[in-house]
Amino acid sequence: MLTPVDIETVEFKKAAFGYSREDVDTFLDRVIVEFEKLYKDNAKLQDRISAMEEALRHYKNLEDTIKNSIVTAEKNAEESKKNASTSAQQIITAAEQQAQQVLQDANTQLSVLKSQIVSTRAEYARIKGTLRSLLENQIQVLEANEAEFEEGEEAAAAVE
């Protein structure tokens, strides 16, 4: 391959009037071939550079898209977390209110039951008193009848 030093240091044979035309033409042919080769290699490298630059732009765009997606995903995750926390707090509040209502209803029912127990005990005592009174009256009637029965027996025995 021809180098710049080769071109600088080339020496042509001296002819009667300047350099040998044949040596100059041969050298120029070599320079042309080498230059064409370099020109084609340079064009290929330029194409590769363009393709690589395009790929780099594509990957940078892809990187930006991924970064934006990650940021969006993080925002969505944070929003979901916030919504879940709010929802959980609302559920807890509703459950606490419901528990309070259940407790309040239970206390109301307990008060009603206690009141019914007091009424039932009073009714029991009243009925018990009434029955005792009735039974005592019946016992008195029976005792009075027993005394009359005994008098009737004595009178019947005396008549015999």
Instruction: Please give the chain's pLDDT, 160 residues, in tens.
Output: 777 777 778 777 777 777 777 888 888 888 888 888 888 898 899 999 999 999 999 999 999 999 999 999 999 999 999 999 999 999 999 999 999 999 999 999 999 999 999 999 999 999 999 999 999 999 999 988 887 877 777 777 777 7
What DSSP element (H or E) covers 16?
none
Instruction: Tell me the residue range of the domain where 93 lies.
Output: 4-159
pTM: 0.46
d(CA 50, CA 46): 6
| Bridge partners, residue 18, by sequence | 15
The total number of structural domains that make up the chain:
1
User: What pLDDT was estimated at residue 10?
Assistant: 78
Residue 19 three-state SS: strand
